[in-house]
């Protein structure tokens, strides 16, 4: 919708400039009426929900309102065609308007209006956000001496009876807690309480309940960026960074789970009272997936793990003799679902960071592997829906798989896995390739 309206606006401006130059008149009166009509049309489309109002339309609405206001005042105060025709003036005005329109429509083009993926469950879904403060940890990313806070958001069945399994999500390296909202919503609609964590200073941006804001830490950003480049870190240094990243992530996840379990005993909030504390699953994308697998090994009360496109860091060790990362080959008993894009799939055989992923088939008691052919790393999040432009920039190109097919199929597979492991609904027999 946004792209269509942008091109219509450009065509109108260009066509009007050509019309003025052909007739050798400024047609100021017609221009004013057109601008008023465009604003009225925009307002009508918004009122009838053809345009879904959101932050992406604010600049566009302001521009169209100003143009309509100027047009109205101009119609009242001046006669038709008050300016002497000058071709250079017409061209200059057209160029300025094209630049201004491009600026105003930029949010619409970068964050296009999109339809939500399908939600197939019987429950309506509600959300709630909270900030938990960990009094046992001082925030290491600042020198304020304050305790570390962790922001969480819940997706849960609204006005539902009974208790439901708890699912805890961890976002990717530069992600945010809403990165897989369609997945959380689908799961909650089928009777799960889903909580997604913002890891402050690992998250691109997060804001606490008291207004405290935390942007991604520059040193952490540099570490992750350099880790993906050849020759910046030795293998031993990379292994040390992995341990540091995973400790912060798993500390956050352990803290959130323990907080929720404690609140389920004493807090009357319906969210906590609807949680079946004997049924807990964890899942995450990229670095969050690696942290989830780590937690599945650490905690006896985690009964299901979904790893979305991540190395199994918890199953690696550093071998001094070979100066490389190797699989520990220890038994892993928590049921695990690995979901891979092409970006990770093609690294499984030739990158030691993924040595444990290939060894999982023989070392894990119950493991399932799914590959989305044609998908890129961010195809397994909602970002390609929210902003195709940003997704393509961040992942180095456009995925060939259909965006909706990918995310909706992924959501269904994750639901089926958790249903099978945590609710005993089965069998779970995913295809190897989608």
Domain holding 198: CATH number? 3.40.50.1820
| 106 shares a domain with 135 | no
| 143 shares a domain with 101 | no
Residue 344 clears pLDDT 80, i.e. is over it: yes
Average pLDDT over residues 73-88: 71
pLDDT in tens, 173-225: 999 999 999 999 999 999 999 999 999 999 999 999 888 899 999 999 999 99
Distance (Å, whole) CA 228 – CA 71: 54
In which band, very low, low, confident or very high, does the pLDDT at 82 lie, cut at 50, 70 and 90?
A: low
Q: Total structural domains in the chain?
A: 2
In the chain, the percentage of residues whose pLDDT exceeds 90 is 74
Residue 52 clears pLDDT 90, i.e. is over it: no
Average pLDDT over residues 70-80: 78
Q: What is the chain's length?
A: 434
For residue 338, report the phi and psi dihedrals to the nearest 5 degrees. Answer: -100, 130
**DSSP SS3 for 414:** helix
How many C-beta atoms surround the C-beta of residue 380 within 10 A? 28
In the chain, the percentage of residues whose pLDDT exceeds 70 is 98
H-helix or E-strand containing 158? none
40 token code pair: 């009225």
295 token code pair: 């937690």
**DSSP SS3 for 4:** helix
In which band, very low, low, confident or very high, does the pLDDT at 340 lie, cut at 50, 70 and 90?
A: very high
Residue 64 clears pLDDT 60, i.e. is over it: yes
Domain enclosing residue 22, as ranges: 1-110
| 130 shares a domain with 101 | no
Distance (Å, whole) CA 422 – CA 121: 17
Domain final position from 84, 110, 136? 110
**DSSP SS3 for 228:** coil
| 142 shares a domain with 40 | no
Domain final position from 40, 75, 110? 110
The order of strands in the sheet holding 125-138 is 125-138, 147-157, 193-198, 164-170, 275-285, 304-308, 336-340, 367-371
| 33 shares a domain with 144 | no
In which band, very low, low, confident or very high, does the pLDDT at 133 lie, cut at 50, 70 and 90?
A: very high
Write the DSSP string, 323-355: TEEEE----B-S-EEEEE-HHHHTTTTT-GGGH
Average pLDDT over residues 123-146: 95
pLDDT of residue 130: 97
pTM: 0.89
Sign of CA dihedral 72, 74, 77, 81: negative
| 67 shares a domain with 134 | no
Residue 421 clears pLDDT 90, i.e. is over it: yes
88 token code pair: 């250079």
């Amino acid at each position: 919708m946004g792209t269509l309206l942008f091109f219509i606006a450009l065509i109108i401006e260009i066509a009007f400039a050509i019309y003025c130059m052909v007739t050798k008149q400024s047609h100021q009166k017609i221009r004013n009426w057109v601008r008023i009509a465009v604003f009225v049309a925009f307002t009508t489309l918004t009122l009838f929900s053809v345009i879904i109002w959101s932050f992406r339309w604010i600049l566009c609405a302001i521009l169209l309102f100003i143009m309509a206001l100027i047009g109205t005042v101009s119609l009242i105060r001046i006669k038709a065609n008050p300016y002497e025709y000058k071709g250079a003036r017409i061209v200059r005005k057209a160029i300025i308007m094209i630049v201004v329109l491009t600026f105003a429509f930029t949010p619409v083009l970068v964050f296009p209006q999109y339809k939500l993926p399908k939600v197939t469950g019987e429950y309506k879904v509600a959300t709630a956000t909270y900030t938990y403060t960990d009094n046992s940890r001082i925030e290491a990313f600042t020198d304020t001496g304050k305790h570390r806070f962790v922001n969480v958001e819940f997706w849960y069945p609204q006005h539902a009876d009974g208790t439901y399994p708890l699912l805890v999500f961890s976002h990717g390296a530069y992600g945010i807690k809403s990165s897989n909202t369609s997945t959380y919503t689908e799961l909650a609609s089928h009777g799960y309480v889903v909580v997604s964590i913002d890891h402050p200073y690992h998250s691109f941006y997060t804001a606490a309940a008291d207004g405290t804001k935390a942007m991604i830490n520059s040193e952490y950003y540099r570490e992750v960026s350099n880790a993906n480049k050849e020759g910046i870190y030795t293998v031993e240094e990379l292994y040390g960074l992995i341990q540091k990243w995973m400790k912060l992530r798993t500390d956050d996840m352990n803290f959130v789970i323990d907080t929720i379990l404690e609140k389920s005993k004493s807090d009357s909030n319906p969210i906590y009272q609807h949680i079946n504390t004997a049924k807990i699953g964890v899942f995450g994308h990229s670095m969050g997936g690696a942290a989830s697998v780590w937690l599945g090994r650490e905690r006896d009360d985690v009964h299901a793990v979904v790893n979305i496109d991540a190395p199994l860091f918890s199953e690696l060790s550093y071998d001094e003799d070979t100066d490389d990362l190797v699989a520990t080959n220890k038994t892993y008993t928590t049921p695990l679902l690995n979901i891979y894009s092409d970006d990770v799939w093609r690294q499984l055989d030739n990158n030691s960071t993924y040595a444990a992923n290939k060894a999982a088939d023989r070392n894990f008691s119950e493991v399932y592997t799914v590959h989305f052919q044609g998908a890129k790393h961010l195809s397994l999040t909602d970002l390609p829906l929210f902003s195709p432009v940003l997704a393509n920039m961040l992942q180095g190109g456009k995925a060939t798989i259909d965006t909706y097919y990918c995310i909706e199929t992924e959501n269904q597979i994750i639901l089926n896995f958790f249903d099978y492991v945590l609710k005993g609904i089965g069998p779970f027999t995913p295809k190897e390739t989608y």
